[in-house]
Structures are given as structure tokens and as C-alpha cells.
Structure 1
Amino acid sequence: MEAKLADEIPRDGNRWQYEPKWDGFRCLAFKSDDTVDLRAKSGKPLGRYFPEITDILRDLKCGHFVIDGEIVIDIDGELSFEALQMRLHPAQSRIRKLSSQTPASLILFDMLARPGGEVITGKPLVERRRAIEDFVTSSNSPDLRLSKCTYDAATAARWLHGSGHASTDGIMAKVLDEHYLCGERAMVKVKPRRTADCVVGGFRYLADSREVGSLLLGLYNDDGKLDHVGFTSTIARTDRGALTRRLEG
């Protein structure tokens, strides 16, 4: 189940559960006896990059389950997305070394099949939440963590205000009585939004084109010099011609 982006936290009625949006790799974990399979949101396998997570789940006494969560790496009290990206390495020896130096954890927020194999995707979120809470408690593993949640929109707003700096990247909102809708954007994702008045210092052409693709943005530093800070998103097709003539002129 995936998420659609929204500008504001949904607040209609008492029907929402709010969670932090963790800065990690989304992961579905499947276990059948001694076989553990980690899959990214795209369906690509993740197990070879995070052998320590595979080992943790294999060592659990329960034999059959499917869980949904986020793989994270904590460095000095903050989650490091860069450390996660370093794991996507072709050399298994390098991955093993990193898994020992900077071990990953799994933050869990949903359960698709209970220990024993009962599929519960058709159950409401409130029931699946109890199932994942029981799973994390019974696992007694410090490397399996339960994502915090709240039903209070004001608390979620405070979390959103504090996100975007390190470990979290916004807020996820989920309907309490909704089933797990595989492949659908049934969750709501809200990211912190910050604005700045930037200077347009230049532009880039589209690939294989003489029309403007995006604008180069800058901010003046304390010395009065213009520092490059980023780019705009791609210019709309209907605006490219007129904007290109204006910029080139």
C-alpha cells in the first residue's frame, strides 16, 4: 500500500491514525520457516544489502509472517539515508563490513500476515496495528522497533513541524477502519514545506532541445555573493516557448 501526497494533515472526524514518515527504505519482509525475503516498494530484493535484518527475522521463533516497515540506520542518534545508500554496493564483502560497522534496524508499522500465516490484509488498520504491536513485543529484539502513532491531529502537526531535519521526512495518515489495499495509494503523505525568495541566476535547456527545462536558483550569502542552492522543477510545456524567448533575450 502506497501514499498520495497532500498539502495538509487530514482532520475529518476521528478516523485517522498518524505516524512519522521515517527517512529509510520501505520494506516488506516475508518469512516462511527459515526462508526470509526482504522486498523494496518496487518489488526488488533487499536481503543481500541488509543481511543483519535477514538474520534477525530468521532467528525469531515464529515461522510464518509478513510485515511492513522501514529499514533505517541510526548514526549518532539520527537516521542516515546516506548510510543506507552505501549498502547498495555490488561487493558482498563491502556490504558485510558495513552491516557490522553500521547495523540497520527495522521500524515496523503494519502486518499483512500474522505469525502462523493468517493473512489479515482484509482486516481494518486498528486490528493490524494491534497485531504488529504484539509482534514487536513478543520478538524481544532491540533491532525490531515499533513506529509510534497518534490519533490526535494536533500531535501529528507538531511532529510535522519538527520533521525534515534528520530522522523523519513528514507525516503519514492512515484511515483506521480501512483494509490494507495492496498497490493502491490509500495512505496520505504530508511533507514539511519551506519557502525562500531566490534569485534566478540562469537556466538549463531540456535534453536534446533548445527550450528551457528548469531555472537555476541562488541565495546571497553574508559576503554578498550568490550561492547556487538548487533548481526549479521542470517547466510546464505550455510555458517553455515564451519563457525561453524571454530568458534568451
Structure 2
Amino acid sequence: MLARTVETLPEGVHWRYEPKWDGFRAIAERDGGRLRITSRSGRGLDSRFPEVAESLLAALPDATTLDGEIVRWSGEGLDFDALQRRNRASVPAARRLAEEEPAHFIAFDLLRLTEADLTQSALSHRRDRLEKLFAGIHDPRLMLGWQTTRAVVARQWFDGLAGVGVEGLMVKDARRTYVPGRRDWLKLKRRITTEAIVGGVIGRPDRPSALVLGRLDPASGQLRIAGRTADLTRAQQDGLAGLLRAAEDGHPWPTRLAPAWGTGEPVVYVRVEPELVVEVEPDPAESAGRWRHVVPYLRPRPDVRPGEVPTGLDIET
């Protein structure tokens, strides 16, 4: 089951609200004394997260399927980088990381219970069965996902949990069945604007196809790569005409960027003088010291000096 983005929080007696956890979406299935965890793309995850698989195997009755999220709680917030490290690790390394950086499974839907197919049941019924199942589960690695019928509580989650890495809210109709691949759920993500310094461009400085964004490191004051924009429209390219110029000697960045943003090849780009500030709308999710997702670009801000831009990856400070 998938979700589509909304700009405002819907309200009504049929809506259920949940935090949007920052982790790996996963389906957990226990069958015949074996436990299988698969990603949304169908990739097996049980060997990458053996501690989660062992907990689910011990806790779930046979012929049971959960939909949920694998997360890593660092003590200060959700740590997506730890999940990425686990995902790249060999099986022996994954077992070592399971001891050092244990992950957890947050269950938010019940698709099958002791061979009974629940996908044709309403969400309200599935949730009721899920809560009863978790009433008998006491493993700290397994957690029942939060859910509320009250929009005021959902807004408190939206505002109060951003600092620990919760990406926003999931909004679900309690009357709906579960249809894999269908975008019947809704998601309200935290999107607020901020500024960044342009340190490079993909394409030409006079006609960039995308911008490589920088932020000053709060400790060293050095310009660090923070992310890259989505591909620019023709109107956005026109609006940048004359505002960017190729860098001279002394630019702090390498001539090529390491593979990132979903590609397997180094990113070829042109360094520019880090003097233009732009307004962007980043998703606050981070990975490897950068904004994890490509960043929507809004407009140039020649009225803002680079020294006035927030430092690190902070949105506002």
C-alpha cells in the first residue's frame, strides 16, 4: 500500500493519523517456522537485520504478515545512516552491527493472522486485531506504531517529533481495505523553506540544469556540500542568468562529487564562486551529512549574504 502527498491535514470521523517514520519500509512474514522480511522492492532484509528477524520469529504466530518500518533509534533520534550502513554490510558485518546499532520494527498494519487474510477487511478492523496481537508481545525490538483519531494529537506529533527524525504524518481512511501498490493512503510531510549557498552547477554556469548546494560547517566555517536541487525548469534557468560564475582557484570542493542521490557514478559538475544564496525547500531527512533527497528549488536570494545562511543542515538556525 502506498501514499500520495497532500498539502493540508484532512479531518473527519473516518481518518486515522500516524507518524511517518524515517526508516526502511518492510513486510514481515512468518511461515512454517521461518521468518522473511522484504523491502518494498522485494529485496530480502532478514539477513541484514537478524535481530529484528529473530524477534519477529519468536513473537509472531505462524502464517502471519505485518506491514511496518525498520528504524534505528540512536538515543537522540532516528538514525537513517545506521540503516544505510546495515544495508551495505556483509552478513557477518550485519550481525556485528546488530549488536552495536540494534534496529527495531514498528508495525502499523496486519495483513494476515494465522492464515486469515485481512487485506479485504477495513483498516479499523485490521488495527483492532493488530492491537490485540501486540498486547501479548513484550519484545523491546518490536513496537506497535502510534495511531490516533484526533487531528489535534496528529498536529502535536507533526510539530513535536520533527526534531527526532519523524518525517511527517500518514493519514489513512479507517474504512479502506489494503490494496498493494495503490496510493490510497495520504502523507503530509514537513516541508519548510530555507536558504543554501550555490557551490556548483550541473551543466553550465550560464544555463545550469541543477544546482549543487552548500552550507557552512558550524565548527570549521568551511563550505560543505549539503545537497543538490531537482532538475531546473526553463523558467528557473532563466531566473539564474547572470547570477553564477565559474570558480577561480581556491574553491574548497573536489572537481568531481562522489556517487550520491541515487546514482552509481561520480557526479560531474562545474564549481562556481560560492556567492549566490538561493531559497530551497529541503526534506529534513539526512544521510552521510547531506540532505538525502534532491531539493526543490524556489528562487535566487541575491538580497541574502552567504554569512546569513543557516549553518550545517539546520533549516532555521
Q: Give TM-score scaled by structure 2 length.
A: 0.69
Relative contact order higher in (CA < 8 Å, ≥ 6 apart)? 1
Is 1:8–2:8 an aligned residue pair? yes
Q: Secondary structure of the equivalent of 2:169?
A: strand
The aligned residue for residue 178 of structure 2 is 180
Is 1:118–2:116 an aligned residue pair? yes
Higher helix share: 1
Query: 1:3 & 1:234 partners in 2: Cα distance?
Result: 23
Go from structure 1 to structure 2 and tell me whether the alpha carbon gap of 1:122 and 1:92 turns closer, same or farther (over 3 Å shift).
same
Structure 1 residue 146, shift from structure 2 partner: 0.6
Structure 1 residue 6, shift from structure 2 partner: 1.6
Is 1:91–2:87 an aligned residue pair? no
Is 1:35–2:34 an aligned residue pair? yes
Query: 1:226 & 1:81 partners in 2: Cα distance?
Result: 25
Q: Secondary structure of the equivalent of 2:67?
A: strand
Q: Which runs of 5+ in 1 are unaligned?
A: none
2:210 to 214, 217, 228: 214
Go from structure 1 to structure 2 and tell me whether the alpha carbon gap of 1:48 and 1:198 turns closer, same or farther (over 3 Å shift).
closer
Go from structure 1 to structure 2 and tell me whether the alpha carbon gap of 1:38 and 1:206 turns closer, same or farther (over 3 Å shift).
farther
Query: 1:21 & 1:162 partners in 2: Cα distance?
Result: 13
Query: 1:245 & 1:234 partners in 2: Cα distance?
Result: 16
Q: Which runs of 5+ in 2 are unaligned?
A: 246-317
Task: Say if 2:123 and 2:176, in contact at 8 Å, map to a contact too.
Answer: yes
Go from structure 1 to structure 2 and tell me whether the alpha carbon gap of 1:246 and 1:4 turns closer, same or farther (over 3 Å shift).
same
Task: Say if 2:172 and 2:186, in contact at 8 Å, map to a contact too.
Answer: yes
Query: 1:68 & 1:179 partners in 2: Cα distance?
Result: 14
The aligned residue for residue 274 of structure 2 is none
The aligned residue for residue 106 of structure 1 is 105
Is 1:232–2:222 an aligned residue pair? no
Query: 1:202 & 1:141 partners in 2: Cα distance?
Result: 48
Go from structure 1 to structure 2 and tell me whether the alpha carbon gap of 1:7 and 1:63 turns closer, same or farther (over 3 Å shift).
same
- Greater mean deviation of Cα atoms: 59-68 or 212-221: 212-221
Query: 2:29 & 2:107 partners in 1: Cα distance?
Result: 13
The alignment-based identity, stated in percent, is 29
Structure 1 residue 91, shift from structure 2 partner: 2.0
Structure 1 residue 78, shift from structure 2 partner: 2.5
Look up the equivalent residue of 2:112 and give its one-letter code.
Answer: A
Query: 2:73 & 2:195 partners in 1: Cα distance?
Result: 34
Q: Secondary structure of the equivalent of 1:30?
A: strand
Query: 2:55 & 2:24 partners in 1: Cα distance?
Result: 17
Q: Give TM-score scaled by structure 1 length.
A: 0.86
Structure 1 residue 96, shift from structure 2 partner: 0.8
Structure 1 residue 233, shift from structure 2 partner: 2.2
Go from structure 1 to structure 2 and tell me whether the alpha carbon gap of 1:247 and 1:185 turns closer, same or farther (over 3 Å shift).
same
Query: 2:138 & 2:24 partners in 1: Cα distance?
Result: 23
Look up the equivalent residue of 1:160 and give its one-letter code.
Answer: F
Query: 1:26 & 1:52 partners in 2: Cα distance?
Result: 16
Number of aligned pairs?
243
The aligned residue for residue 57 of structure 1 is 56
Query: 1:219 & 1:25 partners in 2: Cα distance?
Result: 27
1:143 to 131, 141, 144: 141
Q: Secondary structure of the equivalent of 1:168?
A: coil
Query: 1:202 & 1:61 partners in 2: Cα distance?
Result: 51
1:160 to 158, 169, 193: 158
1:122-133 matches, cutoff 5 A: 122-133=120-131
Query: 1:56 & 1:28 partners in 2: Cα distance?
Result: 14
Task: Say if 2:206 and 2:242, in contact at 8 Å, map to a contact too.
Answer: no
Go from structure 1 to structure 2 and tell me whether the alpha carbon gap of 1:227 and 1:134 turns closer, same or farther (over 3 Å shift).
same
Go from structure 1 to structure 2 and tell me whether the alpha carbon gap of 1:81 and 1:248 turns closer, same or farther (over 3 Å shift).
closer
